[in-house]
Each structure stands twice: as C-alpha cells, then as structure tokens.
C-alpha cells in the first residue's frame, strides 16, 4: 500500500514536470522541481480540502473569519509536508527520486504579505486553528508586491520590490465564482418607495470586482484543511467583457488603473499610522468583499440574519479591518432593510476586536474629508453609530465631557478606528497580560469603566510546528526522543523536559545541538556576509522590525561600550561574543534607517579591528524574514527583548527564542513578563525601568537625558563617537541630538542597568552546566506560549466554535 502510494506520488511529480514545463526529471531545474513537487502536494491537499468543506457544511458549524491586512505566512512547501499525514511517504519518495528537499524548499518565493509580529501572529493562528480542527478562514489581501526585499549597500538599507508572484504561486487557487463587487466614491441618495419606506442608494460610484484566491492551511496530522483567502481587485469590464461599454475607452482604462492599484503593494509600516487614501481603499476593499461574501454564503443555508452570530464570528486583527462594523451595518440596513437596533445587535454580537498597541502614533485616525470622499455611505453609517453612542455616553455621564472627548468615534475632524471597533464589538482583547492591564487602566480606561465585560486578555503564542519541528529539526528530534512527540500538538508536555535539566548527558546533548545550529547559521553568514564568526562565542541575537521603541540603539551602544573597553584594556576578562542583528526599517522612517547604518558602521569597524583579536563580532543579516528567522532562532544563545517597558504589546519572537532554548535578556515588557514568570527569574536576565515608571515619566516629566550624559563618561565617549567622525567620517547627528534633547525611549536612562544585565549574561554563560540547565528549562517551560493555547482561549471566550468531526 505504502509503495503504491509512493509510486503514485513520484509519477505525479514527473507528470507535472512534463505538463507544466515539458521537461523530464533529469533535465529539470531546481525551480521546476520545486513547482512540480508543490503541485503534486497540492493535489494531496485538495482532496482533504474538499472534504473539510463538506464536513463543515454538513455540520453547519460556526466559522471564524480572521480578518487581517497581513498574513506573514513564510514558505509553505516544507510546512505542508510536515503537517500532512502522508509526511513519510512524501519525504521518502522525494529521496528516492534523488531530489534534495532543502534545495527545493529554498526555491520557494516567500509569501511575505505582512510586516512583522501582527502578520506572523495571524499566520500562527491559522496553523493552530486548522490543527485544532476549528472552522476558520483567514481573510486578507493578495498584494502583488509583499514586504520589500532588503539589501544593505554601503551600510544603508535599500528596498527592492518583492515580486513573489512572477513565476506563479503553486498553492493558490482562483475562485471566480466567489467574486463580489466593491463600490467606492459617488454619493448616497435617500430613496422613498410608494409605501413611504426610506432606503439609500449609492450613485456615481466606482466599482471594482473583488476576486478571491484561496490558499490551503493544512492542520497537523488531522486531515483538516482550512483556507486563507486573499482578495485581488479586477476592473469590472475586464471581469465581465459583455457588460463593458466598448465605446468608453478612457473610462475603461481608468477603471483598470484603479483596480490594479488597490492590491499593488503592502504598506511597509509597522506600529505607525499613515493616513493615505490608498490604505483606506485597501481596508474597505477587503472588508467589504469578506463581509459580503460571508453573508451570501450564510444565506445559502440559513434564512434568518438575526442569528448570524450563531454561525459567524468576525475577528478584527487590530483596527485595520474595523470598517467591518460599519460595512455589516450598511449591508443589514441598506440591502436587507433591517431596523437599526436589530442590525446593531447582530453586528455587536458578530464582531470582535484585538488591540496590538498602546502607542498613539500607531492608532488609526482618518481625516473626515478623505473618508467621506472615498466612502460616503459608510461615513453616514458611522455618523449614526457615533450619534447614538455619544447619546448613550452623555446619558450615563451627564456632567463629564471628558468621556465624549475620549470615547467619541468622530472627534476633531477624525474618524477614530479603535473607538469604532470597540463600540461595534462584543469583545476587546489585548495580547499580553501587562498590555491588557495598560489598556484597561490607561488607554481605554473609559471604555473599560463603561463596558468591563467586553475586555479580556489573550496572551499571544507561536506555532511550535514551524518554529521547532520545521525550523530546528535536530532539537525537535532530541525532544521527541526524550519525552515522545505529544509536544507537537500539546506544547505543555514540554514540561517533562524539566527532569533532564540537571542531567549532565542531556545538558551536553542539548548544547551540542545548539552548537550544530550555530554552525548552520555561521555558514549562512559566511555565504551572505562573508564574515567568519566563532561558533564557540555567545550568539547574542536581536532580530525584529527596526523601531526606536525596540531599542536596537541600546544594544549598539553596549557594543560600542565593549569595543571601547576592550581597546582600552586588551587583557580584560571577556567571553567572545557575536552580536547578530536583522531588521527592516519602514521605507520612510529616517531615524530607523540611520540606526541600520550605525549598526553596519559599528560592525565594519569592529570586525576589521585586529586589536580585538576576533573576540567581538557584529553581523547584520540582510532581508530578515520568516525562513531566515527559523535558522537564526535555533542558533541563539541570548534573546534580546529590550523594548522600552510599556511599548511592546506582547512580542512573539521572545517566545520563539525561548522555545529554542535561548535565554531572555529583557525588560519587563509585553509577554516577557509572562515568560519570566514561567521560566523563573534565575533562568532569564531582566533590567530597566518598569512600565509604570515609564508611563509616569511620560505623564509627569522629570527625566533629563542630558544629566545622565554629563555624569557618565562612558556614555559621553559613545555619543561623541556618533558625531566625531569615528565611523568613517559618517555622522549620526540626528541620533545624537534626539537623545540629548528628549530620549523618548529612555535609552540613556536604561543604559547602565543594561550593561550590568549583559555582565550577568557573561557570568552565567561561563558556567557551562548552569547555562545548559537554564537553556533546557527555557524550552521545557515554553508550553504556555503555543498559539494552540491562545486559540483555545479565543474559542472558549469569544468565538464559541465547535470542532469539525
Ligand atoms: C496602519 C496604518 C497604515 C499603515 C500601516 C499600519 C500598520 C501596519 C502594521 C500599523 C501597525 C502594524 C503592525 C503592528 C504590529 O505588528 N504589532 C505587533 O503585534 C504583535 C502581535 O500581537 C505584538 O506581539 C507586538 O508587540 C506588536 O508590536
């Protein structure tokens, strides 16, 4: 039986090579092999996909639409193979054909339809939903160009387009029959029928067709296949040639240009709001398409929209899809003639909102005029929602205008999307305990006081299938040998590793695997950066988006400090260190780009300074993405999680590092707090201001960075090197000036405490057995941080789904 299936699978690959490329297996390129293999796997998946949909329909199961502008999926081939039940048949067949799976995997263009944490979280959630067997559909945008490719030229970031669809993407399927029309602009006109019933019609609008492409999400070893649906826009005339007035060429090409623009590119901003018209167009485009389609599908098997929330949940990933609230109202009121109050009850019961930030610069606030022009009818609906809500508020708090000021949806000529999302949802959640507390007690305090029952915490998680089973096969095998494979779908089982933490053989094995992973990373760095690094040095890793609050600068200052100390005192006690960075800066974020340049300048100077005898190395890995993350994370000794306390809502790379046995060096921020709670203070190193201290300084003042500079000779030396030509005559005046005048992210304030924390890391590492024990305990205690646990909490508290059976 096994053999027959293997032969079938091999034939399938060979057939694909012929029909797709007209080549035999011996003449096929690696890219052709990747494509043909992917298509053979897609065929196995499709049978399960169809079956999952059938079961879902028979069971009439409730489904969650996970609505997100971003899905940072990473490569699919390797992950799909791992998750499929036929895993062994497939890998053996590939071997028997003489193909190298690793080489093939590296051919896959990475679907990078996301920036960072928020997009990757959405991807982990889809993996967990499918693995737990819950009906779910991810809904997003099929950007033609995803996250830009980053090159470092002369130390500067250069952005290149990510043309991931150029050669076609083997796992997507276009679904023409599920297309819907989305309307922009024009104006809405009140219409009274002969019975005096009032309704609204949209006139003079510009329409585009939203066409979905479906990508399978394979559950682990359970035959469930869910869907990631990404929408593309097409011009109406192109979609329906018959309906096209062929006389009107100019109008036709305008339509086409508009349609082509909508899904052209992912905005590369992370934790920063840009109020661009195209961005709002994208948001409404995918929201309207998703909500329209969901209602049409619901009505295929149900007749009463009052019960919508029994069968559908819309989960809004941040405020980017919060137009869902208004769009659902619009459809219910305008298209299905619901009373406002009924429509509102349905909407609130169906929608739920996740907040991912407390930083004011990241909160979405749209200009009213821009909004009205693009979405006139939706704006009217929001006006009505706002009017009724404000009436509620002023009835409840008659003498307190501050309540309206904080909670109104329309204020100061802006549409405040977070307020829209909160008012229109039955559930609002933060993404880590500390973050949720800050939401309840500060940012969203008035909402919390008014409707405490809406609020809850859902601490983020990551999928161990990608970030251990796929990314770190050596450690995955070791863990399975020790405790069995139940951790793959139940990460709490990792706790059994505690028994091995004190065992010398286990410690040696664990550190030996770490060393092998360090060699794998060192080879990557040699190939891509042409830098030799010492695989016996401490690998100290800081990879994430570049943002001032994430404080890559604090890390660099410490490196400069070490360099200065080592040059001053060549014989000082020092354990060899390799500092590894990876970070993309948003294309328009000048300060962030300066910091990248600084990291590269410091790296060049240090790596070529023979006085340091190779004891200190600095590497900037370009184009940090999901595939590279898998390699980097498994090789890390130290996990840098050093955001200014209160700023990082959760963080998720902190969890990936912990899972792979790195020790956290972090502030008490986001999920770091919970990581330290799980692993114990003695197995992590913390430093810096507390979130309350930061929030108090921000509120009351009292922090003067210049005082710190004046009193600390090491800091003076470092800051002066930024502007005195030390780095190849390149000056970092922007960084220097903003630190001395404001230092918004408390870098100088936390510097000394960070230096001490780093000294503690060195001390710990020198005790090999102690370090190994801590590393094992980090892996052992990472159970809480599986996205399987997070998803189960969303299901229990918010979505109330039942499993497919
Ligand atoms: C908004 C408007 C216009 C253009 C872009 C944006 C935009 C895009 C992306 C705003 C924010 C983002 C991304 C935010 C993000 O990644 N947040 C992170 O979410 C993670 C998952 O919850 C958390 O772990 C991180 O702490 C949080 O920073």
Alpha-carbon distance of 290 to 284, in angstroms, equals 10
What pLDDT, on a 0 to 100 scale, did the predictor assign at position 604? Answer: 97
The correct answer on CATH 3.90.79.10 for the domain covering 60-75+110-460+792-799 is no
Q: Please indicate whether the domains covering 60-75+110-460+792-799 and 534-762 agree at the CATH topology level.
A: yes
Annotated active-site residue 545? The verdict is yes
Q: What are the boundaries of each domain within the chain?
A: 60-75+110-460+792-799, 534-762
Helix (H, G, I), strand (E, B) or coil at 210: strand
Atom nearest to 651 CA in ligand 1: 24
Residue pointed to by tokens 């160009």: 145
Q: Is 356 close to ligand 1, i.e. is its CB under 6 Å away? A: yes
What pLDDT, on a 0 to 100 scale, did the predictor assign at position 712? Answer: 98
> Of the candidates 73, 89, 102, which has an alpha carbon nearest to the alpha carbon of residue 40?
89
118 CA to centre of ligand 1 in angstroms = 5
As given in the structure block, the two tokens for residue 402 are 């501050």
Residue 612 φ/ψ, nearest 5 degrees: -90, -5
Pocket test for ligand 1, best of 271, 433, 641 (most atoms within 8 A of CB): 271
Question: 3.30.70.890, 3.30.360.10, 3.40.50.2000, 3.40.50.620: which CATH number matches 534-762?
Answer: 3.40.50.2000
Pocket test for ligand 1, best of 118, 278, 586, 629 (most atoms within 8 A of CB): 118
Annotated active-site residue 550? The verdict is yes
> Of the candidates 702, 699, 693, 675, which has an alpha carbon nearest to the alpha carbon of residue 750?
693
Q: Is 121 close to ligand 1, i.e. is its CB under 6 Å away? A: yes
The catalytic residue among 75, 144, 426, 550 is 550
Give the residue ranges of the chain where pLDDT is below 70: 239-250
Q: How far is CA 192 from the centre of its chain?
A: 47
Q: Is 274 close to ligand 1, i.e. is its CB under 6 Å away? A: yes
What pLDDT, on a 0 to 100 scale, did the predictor assign at position 246? Answer: 55
Q: Is 431 close to ligand 1, i.e. is its CB under 6 Å away? A: yes
What pLDDT, on a 0 to 100 scale, did the predictor assign at position 253? Answer: 84
Alpha-carbon distance of 507 to 770, in angstroms, equals 9
Q: Is 586 close to ligand 1, i.e. is its CB under 6 Å away? A: no
> Of the candidates 362, 338, 359, which has an alpha carbon nearest to the alpha carbon of residue 350?
338
Q: Is 783 close to ligand 1, i.e. is its CB under 6 Å away? A: no
As given in the structure block, the two tokens for residue 235 are 């011009």
Alpha-carbon distance of 2 to 84, in angstroms, equals 15
Pocket test for ligand 1, best of 71, 356, 415, 646 (most atoms within 8 A of CB): 356
Annotated active-site residue 6? The verdict is no
Residue nearest (by alpha carbon) to ligand 1 atom 19: 118
Residue nearest (by alpha carbon) to ligand 1 atom 21: 118
Atom nearest to 649 CA in ligand 1: 26
Q: How far is CA 270 from the centre of its chain?
A: 10
Sign of CA dihedral 29, 472, 73, 128: positive
Q: Is 669 close to ligand 1, i.e. is its CB under 6 Å away? A: no
Rounded to the nearest 10°, the torsion over CA 564, 566, 572, 578 is 120
- The pLDDT tens digits for 319-352 are 999 999 999 999 999 999 999 999 999 999 999 9
């Amino acid at each position: 039986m096994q053999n027959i299936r293997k032969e079938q699978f091999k034939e399938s690959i060979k057939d694909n090579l012929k029909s797709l490329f007209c080549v035999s297996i011996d003449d096929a390129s690696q890219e052709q092999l990747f494509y043909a293999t992917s298509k053979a796997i897609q065929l196995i998946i499709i049978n399960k996909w169809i079956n999952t949909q059938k079961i879902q329909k028979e069971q009439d199961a409730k489904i969650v639409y996970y609505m997100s502008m971003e899905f940072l999926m990473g490569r699919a081939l390797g992950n799909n193979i791992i998750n499929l039940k036929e895993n062994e048949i497939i890998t053996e067949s590939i071997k028997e054909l003489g193909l190298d799976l690793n080489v093939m995997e590296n051919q896959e263009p990475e679907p990078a339809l996301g920036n960072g944490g928020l997009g990757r979280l959405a991807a982990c959630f889809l993996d967990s939903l499918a693995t737990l067997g819950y009906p779910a559909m991810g809904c997003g945008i099929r950007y033609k160009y995803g996250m830009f490719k980053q090159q470092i030229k002369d130390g500067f970031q250069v952005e290149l387009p990510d043309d991931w669809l150029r050669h076609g993407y083997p796992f997507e399927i276009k679904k023409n029959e599920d297309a819907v029309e989305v309307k922009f602009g024009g104006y809405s006109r009140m219409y009274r029928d002969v019975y005096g019933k009032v309704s609204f019609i949209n006139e003079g609008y510009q329409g585009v067709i939203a066409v979905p492409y479906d990508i399978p999400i394979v559950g682990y070893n359970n035959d469930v296949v869910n869907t990631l649906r990404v929408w593309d826009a097409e011009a109406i005339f192109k979609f329906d040639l018959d309906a096209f007035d062929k006389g009107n060429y100019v109008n036709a090409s305008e339509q086409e240009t508009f349609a082509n623009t909508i899904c052209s590119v992912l905005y590369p901003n992370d934790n920063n709001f840009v109020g661009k018209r195209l961005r709002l167009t994208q948001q409404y485009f995918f929201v309207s398409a998703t909500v329209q389609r969901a209602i049409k599908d619901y009505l295929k098997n149900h007749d009463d929209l009052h019960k919508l929330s029994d069968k559908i949940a819309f989960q809004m990933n941040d405020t980017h899809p919060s137009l869902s609230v208004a769009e659902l109202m619009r459809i219910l009121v305008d298209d299905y003639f619901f009373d406002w109050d009924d429509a509102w009850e349905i909407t609130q019961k169906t929608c739920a909102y996740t907040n991912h930030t407390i930083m004011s610069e990241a909160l979405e606030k749209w200009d009213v005029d821009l909004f009205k022009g693009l979405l006139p009818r939706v704006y009217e609906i929001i006006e009505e929602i706002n009017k009724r809500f404000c009436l509620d508020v002023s009835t409840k708090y008659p003498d307190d205008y501050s309540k309206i000021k904080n909670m109104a949806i329309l204020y100061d000529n802006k549409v405040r999307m977070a307020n829209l999302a909160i008012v229109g949802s039955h559930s609002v959640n933060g993404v880590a305990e500390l973050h949720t507390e800050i939401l309840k007690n500060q940012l969203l305090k008035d909402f919390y006081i008014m409707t405490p029952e809406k609020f809850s915490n859902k601490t983020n998680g990551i999928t161990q299938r990608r970030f251990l089973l796929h990314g770190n096969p050596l450690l995955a095998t070791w863990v399975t040998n020790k405790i069995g494979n139940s951790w793959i779908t139940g990460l709490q089982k990792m706790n059994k590793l505690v028994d091995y933490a004190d065992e010398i053989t286990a410690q040696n094995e664990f550190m030996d695997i770490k060393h092998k992973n360090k060699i794998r990373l060192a080879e990557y760095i040699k190939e891509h950066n042409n830098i030799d690094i010492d695989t016996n040095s401490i690998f100290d890793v800081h990879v994430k988006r570049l943002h001032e609050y994430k404080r890559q600068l604090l890390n660099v200052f410490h490196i400069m400090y070490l360099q200065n100390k080592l040059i001053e005192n060549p014989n000082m006690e020092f354990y060899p260190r390799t500092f590894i960075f990876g970070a993309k800066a948003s294309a328009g974020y000048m300060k962030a780009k300066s910091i990248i340049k600084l990291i590269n300048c410091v790296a060049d100077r240090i790596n070529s300074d023979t006085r340091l005898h190779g004891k200190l190395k600095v590497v900037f890995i370009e184009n940090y993405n999901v595939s590279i993350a898998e390699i980097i994370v498994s090789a890390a000794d130290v996990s840098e999680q050093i955001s200014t306390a209160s700023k990082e809502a959760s963080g998720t790379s902190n969890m990936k590092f912990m899972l792979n046995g790195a020790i956290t060096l972090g502030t008490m921020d986001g999920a770091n707090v919970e990581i330290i709670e799980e692993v114990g203070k003695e197995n992590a190193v913390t430093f810096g201001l507390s979130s309350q201290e930061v929030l108090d300084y921000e509120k009351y003042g009292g922090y003067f960075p210049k005082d710190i500079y004046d009193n600390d000779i090491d800091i003076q030396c470092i800051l002066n090197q930024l502007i005195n030509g030390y780095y190849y005559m390149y000056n970092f005046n922007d960084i220097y000036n903003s630190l001395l005048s404001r230092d918004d992210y408390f870098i100088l304030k936390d510097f000394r405490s960070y230096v001490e924390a780093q000294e503690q890391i060195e001390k710990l590492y020198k005790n090999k057995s102690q370090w190994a024990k801590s590393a094992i305990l980090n892996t052992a205690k990472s159970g809480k941080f599986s996205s399987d646990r997070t998803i189960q909490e969303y299901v229990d508290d918010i979505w109330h789904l039942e499993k497919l059976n």
